[in-house]
Amino acid sequence: MRIGVDARAAVRVTDGIGRYALELLRAYSRRGDDHEYIVLKNTQTRFSFAFDPRFHEVTVPYDRFGIREQFRLPDLLRGQRLDLFHSLHSTLPLAYRGASVMTVHDILPLLMPWSFGGNGLRNAVASTYLTTLVRRSANRAAMVIVDSEHTRQDMLAHMTVDAGRIRRVYLGIDHLDSQAARRQPDIPESGGIKSPYLVTVTNFKPHKNTETVIQAFRLAKERVPGLALAVVGDDSRKFARELGQKDRLLSENIHMLGFVDDDRLGGLLASAEAFVFPSLYEGFGFPILEAMVQGAPVISSAVASLPELGGDAVLYVDPHNPASVADAIVRICCDPTLHNDLRERGRQQAGKFQWQGTALQTLGVYEESVRRHRGDRS
């Protein structure tokens, strides 16, 4: 097959969709099949998908969710003579009539429209446009891939998609090498963070619940002497400024690290007392799996997809109650047996998520989609 893959949402490999795009296509390359892959990328993409001669990159100047993509992208796709088109994010160019697959990671725009797009009228317009586009795209696609059972149930509850066209395909985490993290120099110390410390990863959107992490840390450090908190995320310094507390946060041993690359994050997680993630909604919780691979005990909310991923290897808390999160932090810091048990169970749990399995199941969805598309046209 000649397969088009829309990876325009993949700008940096550490982004969720960036990771998905890179590792899925890399897994395809390792299979050595006879398919050709036409990969659409945007002008800001910072890595290559040209793994071997079967992979061809096409840079597309149309933004995701923009009006231009709806009018111009269908012509570009028709010019590529595709057997199948796969969008790695939750929308399609609606005028495209070829066989198509769409991955839906979550339906956050439908459930929490206030969490993106600005405030007031801008938020309302962006929310209405995007939710309409997601709904119509899901009905247009021959098949829809979701990366958790929770997202599948969300779609069935809040959208009109036929259940027979939805397939759950878990993502992988085996791209990370825990041994490499342990070989890193003492990264936490070089960053000015001394043990014992916690790590959280966030994009500072409301559903990430970052303020609860900070409140819980303040409660926990009263009972754990010298405890520090490392906050990883692009907008962490901006978040600190908005709180008007940058100096106070540092005095409280809260370190806003901003963006960190995979190696440094691996080093931080490998030496952390715990990874704290009381998110209010996740379509697929990459961060808790990343922490498990590196041996960090995980504290997580039991909402959305997180229990699917965490299984019995996570200490679950009430994300609306900072005291509940603080109690879990203290338990892990003060109980070496619990700490070590969670480390080992976490590594075993993370081992269940393999990219080759993701690739094999996704290719199966492609074949099913082509058959369905041909049947619909006959």
* Domains held by the chain: number: 2
Same domain flag for 242 and 131: no
Q: Are residues 51 and 152 both part of a single domain?
A: yes
Indicate whether 123 and 236 sit together in one domain. Answer: no
Residue 240 belongs to domain with CATH number: 3.40.50.2000
pLDDT of residue 353: 96
Torsion of CA 307, 310, 316, 319, to 10 degrees: -60
Exposed/middle/buried for 12, CB within 10 Å: 0-12, 13-18, 19+? middle
Whether 26 and 103 share a structural domain: yes
Same domain for 165 and 105?
yes
Q: Which domain holds residue 240?
A: 178-350
Is the predicted pLDDT of residue 88 greater than 60, yes or no?
yes
Does residue 377 have a pLDDT over 80?
no
Same structural domain, 231 and 332:
yes
* 195 and 336 co-located in one domain: yes
pLDDT of residue 246: 54
Report percent pLDDT > 70 for the chain. Answer: 87
Q: What is the pLDDT of residue 316?
A: 98
Q: Smallest Cα–Cα separation from 114: which of 128, 127, 105, 129?
A: 127
Q: What is the pLDDT of residue 81?
A: 96
Q: Are 140 and 278 within one domain?
A: no
DSSP state of 304: T
pLDDT tens digits, 202-248: 887 888 899 999 999 999 999 999 999 999 987 666 666 656 565 56
Residue scoring higher pLDDT (258 or 351) = 351
Its pTM surpasses 0.75: yes
Looking at the fold, whether 192 and 329 belong to one and the same domain comes out as yes
pLDDT in tens, 106-120: 988 777 766 655 556
Asked if 276 and 193 sit in the same domain, the reply is yes
Query: Does residue 333 carry a pLDDT above 60?
Result: yes
Q: Do residues 196 and 135 share a domain? A: no
Kindly state whether residues 42 and 143 are assigned to the same domain.
yes
Report CA-CA distances (Å) from 132 to 86, 94, 139.
Answer: 19, 11, 11
Alpha helix segments (H runs only) across 86-160: 108-111, 120-140, 149-158
d(CA 326, CA 299): 10
